[in-house]
């Protein structure tokens, strides 16, 4: 099983590259945002708890997110592996993920981060905003804040995986195919 944690600031190409990775390697995409939305729409007890929190403008606790992640992994236990997107966001979550995967005799294989300079990120996000119509992708102040939050929150997680010799920084600038080739080289080396 190959378990990939994919990181990158907004606009770095995580979503696009994840689609390519899924097609080539057959991994299951685990996005915490998608899990939250699916759980709320399921009408489950957990989904109702999450909906109440979000409706009150509160953050979903690590405990609830971790419960959803574990349930998703166990439902897909026979897969070739996972792309963890949006999780873990903290070193506590990363340690929990290691422990949870160890329970099923698995581990994180690689933590890969797409490296894109901030000017390019802004350009990409603004372009995406024009196409999608998303207001948050058209406001430079919001974009700058999202990039700053990413750097502040992810650095400790990068350090966590660096200490395990599982962190690889991939140049996220270039054509989609060039970036994907770099990702494949990193993944194939980590196998």
Contacts of residue 142, Cβ cutoff 8 Å, sequence gap at least 6: 136
Active site residue 124: no
The catalytic residue among 124, 128, 166, 182 is: 128
Q: Residues 30, 84: contact at Cβ < 8 Å?
A: yes
Active site residue 146: yes
The catalytic residue among 49, 70, 89, 122 is: 89
Supply the DSSP symbol for 136: G
The catalytic residue among 49, 75, 134, 166 is: 134
C-alpha 62/C-alpha 40 separation (Å) is 16
The catalytic residue among 14, 124, 166, 182 is: 14
Q: Residues 4, 84: contact at Cβ < 8 Å?
A: yes
- Residue 115's CB is within 10 A of a number of other CB atoms, namely 14
Burial of 131 (0-12, 13-18, 19+ CB in 10 A): exposed
Q: Residues 96, 108: contact at Cβ < 8 Å?
A: no
Active site residue 122: no
Active site residue 23: no
Active site residue 182: no
Residues acting as catalytic residues:
14, 89, 128, 134, 146
């Amino acid at each position: 099983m190959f378990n990939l944690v994919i990181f990158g600031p907004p606009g770095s190409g995580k979503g696009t590259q994840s689609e390519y990775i899924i097609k080539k390697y057959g991994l299951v995409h685990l996005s915490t945002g998608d899990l939250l939305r699916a759980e709320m729409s399921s009408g489950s007890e957990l989904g109702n708890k999450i909906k109440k929190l979000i409706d009150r403008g509160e953050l979903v606790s690590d405990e609830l997110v971790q419960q959803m992640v574990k349930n998703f992994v166990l439902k897909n236990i026979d897969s070739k592996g996972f792309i963890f997107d949006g999780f873990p966001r903290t070193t506590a979550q990363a340690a929990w993920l290691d422990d949870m995967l160890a329970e099923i005799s698995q581990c994180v294989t690689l933590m890969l981060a797409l490296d894109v300079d901030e000017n390019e990120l802004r350009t990409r996000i603004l372009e995406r905003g024009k196409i999608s119509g998303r207001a948050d992708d058209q406001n430079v102040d919001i974009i700058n804040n999202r990039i700053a939050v990413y750097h502040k929150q992810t650095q400790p997680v990068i350090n966590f995986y660096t200490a395990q010799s599982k962190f690889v920084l991939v140049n996220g600038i270039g054509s989609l195919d060039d970036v994907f080739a770099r990702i494949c080289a990193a993944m194939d080396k980590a196998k």
